[in-house]
Amino acid sequence: MIQLATPDYIKTLQDNMHKLAEGVLRPISRKYDEAEHEYPKELDMFRGIKVMARPKKKKEGESASNDEKKPKRGANLGMVVTIEEMCWGDAALLLSFPNAGLGNAAILAVANDEQLERFGNKWAAMAITEPGAGSDSGAITTTATRDGDYWVLNGEKIFVTCADRSEVVVVWATVDKKAGKAGIKSFVVEKGTPGFTLEHLEHKLGIRASDTGTFVLSDCRIPYNNILGDPEVKMSTEGFKGVMKTFDNTRPLVASMATGIARAAVEFTKEQYEQKGYVFDYKKNLSNVSAAERELYLMEANVEAMRLLTWRAAWMADNGQFNNLEASMAKAKAGRYGTLITQRCCELLGPVGYSTHYLAEKWMRDSKIMDIFEGTGQIQHLIIARNVLEMSSKELK
């Protein structure tokens, strides 16, 4: 039988993270939205805390115990629960947490033990997008050429999250343009490396507390062993698929971000209506309530759907199940409806939704990026269609 009640350990985690978001993030949300590019010093209290951890590997020949065969309460599910609550507080501040960059997730997933020792405790950004390669990661033109014991990188990377604050950057580049996607690898580039320049920081519509920038690589030389994964170019896309699997873990995280923002907007809107005398009765038929009440009920239902899709994708990742379809479903649903919900809340709130005295207009601005980064909504629908129809990227473009 399906159990839809929230488990006690999840409820405890939610409560603890909500108190943190309410006590630390929400009070400084507006401050750092207006002070764009200024580092939130209040987050220094979290430095040194291990945000991400690599799951333990079984030794060669070691079989799984009975406990290991049971469904797991893993790191991914705990992370999406945490992120939803933190983004209820402020999504941009969450993105500014030390040592919690997208590059950190890539290093944990792919790095060998020696690389993990060198880079595991450093704040890592992820540089994928280029002026001519956005949603199509396979169109990357940044090059990495081997020169003895070094790689020489050349290219430009745009819209890099934590560009200024990170200590290292995971850069996607091609080692063989003729090999197409099979030639794309990821490299760790340390800040201060000659030829690696932070060109500028972006001024953005939303998530302003998170710094976003452009890097230029000009004959940037890095040690040969800074490549993540197998350096050999195999004439298949298996290596690229391995790199892309990072998104199967990070897309549910973005979905949980959208869920947290949308929930904040719906809860605030309901509070405002309750102050005006509205009484929300869930036993009523939707045909017998006001238009505003009906919309709020439907928005709450969509927030719950966003959450359940996200939890499903995260649970599958924790239990070693292929979740490419579910990760994209969660990202597509949450990214799109997060935008629609926050916009509609601002409309229902009237002047309160438009005023910077409240956070509703900020949530509307912040939510838009959730439908764009980590793969646009359109790309997610394409991935979903390929999975459902069992078609390859060449067959369905």
DSSP symbols for 322-371: --HHHHHHHHHHHHHHHHHHHHHHHHHHTHHHH-TTSSHHHHHHHHHGGG
How many CB atoms sit inside 10 A of residue 70's CB?
A: 10
Residue in 156, 167, 361, 374 annotated catalytic: 374
Give the whole-angstrom CA distance, residue 247 versus residue 188: 18
Tokens 């790095």, residue? 111
**How far is residue 175 CA from its own chain's centroid?**
27
Amino acid found at 154: N
For 297, the token pair is 């009920």
Alpha-carbon distances, residue 55 vs 147, 202, 218 (angstroms): 34, 35, 36
Asked if 335 contacts 310 with a C-beta cutoff of 8 angstroms, the reply is: no
For 179, the token pair is 């090999």
Three-state SS string over 314-333 comes to HHHHHCCCCCHHHHHHHHHH
Alpha-carbon distances, residue 302 vs 91, 308, 335, 337, 340 (angstroms): 19, 10, 12, 7, 10
Tokens 């050429």, residue? 145
Contacts of 281 (CB under 8 A, 6+ apart): 289
- Residue 374 annotated as catalytic: yes
Give the whole-angstrom CA distance, residue 263 versus residue 242: 33
Alpha-carbon distances, residue 332 vs 161, 198, 211 (angstroms): 21, 31, 24
**How far is residue 80 CA from its own chain's centroid?**
10
Which residues are the active-site residues? 374
